[in-house]
Chains A and B, each alone.
Chain A
Amino acid sequence: QVVDAIKDLVQDCNFDCNDSGIALQAMDNSHVALVAMHLKTEGFSQYRCDRNIALGVNLASLQKVLRAAQNEDLLTLKAEDAPDVLSLVFENSENDRISEYDIKLMDIDQEHLGIPDTEYGATVTLPSAEFQRICRDLMLISESVGIEATKEGIKFSCAGDIGSGAVTLRQNANVDKPELSTTIELQEPVALTFSLKYLVNFCKATGLSSTVTLSLSNEVPLLIEYKMEHGFVRFYLAPKIGD
């Protein structure tokens, strides 16, 4: 699911393995968006990493191999020191099937970007499916969306050749199903414009989490986070600026 979520944004990337788990940071080709992923060791039934290692992987190749796994298979990832290949083993404990695949690794000279700690002006958590719906609906009308956070709520608006549209979400607490709540923490009003093409792309991570958190400040990249039980996928998107 993680590979599915990011494979259309980045093609080749390093999986950085160390004591804390497997991490990845990569920009898209146009250098407008950045994806950062972390799978913590606690999320693995077994995890061993004797030495920090970067596994340079073509995500399309990895995806091809992962398609060979069944949903409930146990997956083991293995790489030696200075590896040429990443080994994947899929096991089905019920019928004792073991599938073994190797994918070739590549040297990827990937620069890491320092992401400054930011006190965001607005932090909004909403159901991830709702966010996906809004992005898809608005993309049919325009290529850009204005996101405005005020004490009234968060407003997504766009205008295109056929007309215009806007969706406003107000803070709303669902006691029975907290994952359906919308929470808005506002330090100061925020108004920014983003390319919908990227937002729709990020929504491929919707299956990772029932909620998504948008963190916004004026004139800095939008942070979109899908939290998992033992890790996260974060997308950063640079804003568009006015004419």
Chain B
Amino acid sequence: QAGQKGIMSFFQKK
């Protein structure tokens, strides 16, 4: 989706 950020650009893998 255009303009939709992914959650992993905010929360990093543990």
Contact = CB atoms under 8 A, between A and B. Distances in A.
Interface of A: 27, 30-34, 111-116, 193, 195, 220-221, 236-243
A32 B4 contact: yes
Interface footprint category on B: 10 to 19
A238 B2 CA distance: 13
A193 B1 CA distance: 13
Contact of A27 (B2, B7, B14): B7
B interface SS class:
loop
Nearest to A112: B14
10 contacts: A27-B7, A111-B14, A112-B13, A112-B14, A113-B12, A221-B10, A240-B3, A240-B4, A240-B5, A243-B3
Interface of B: 1-14
Contact of A31 (B7, B12, B14): B7
- 3 smallest A-B Cβ distances: which pairs? A113-B11, A238-B5, A112-B14
A27 B2 CA distance: 19
A114 B1 CA distance: 24
Nearest to B5: A238
Nearest to B10: A221
Contacts of B1: 30, 32, 195, 240
A111 B13 contact: yes
B8 A113 contact: yes
A116 B14 contact: no
Contacts of A30: 1, 6
Contacts of A111: 13-14
A113 B3 contact: no
B5 A113 contact: no
A241 B5 contact: yes
B6 A115 contact: no
A207 B1 CA distance: 30
Contacts of A116: 11
Contacts of A220: 10
A241 to B, nearest CB: 5
A32 B1 CA distance: 10
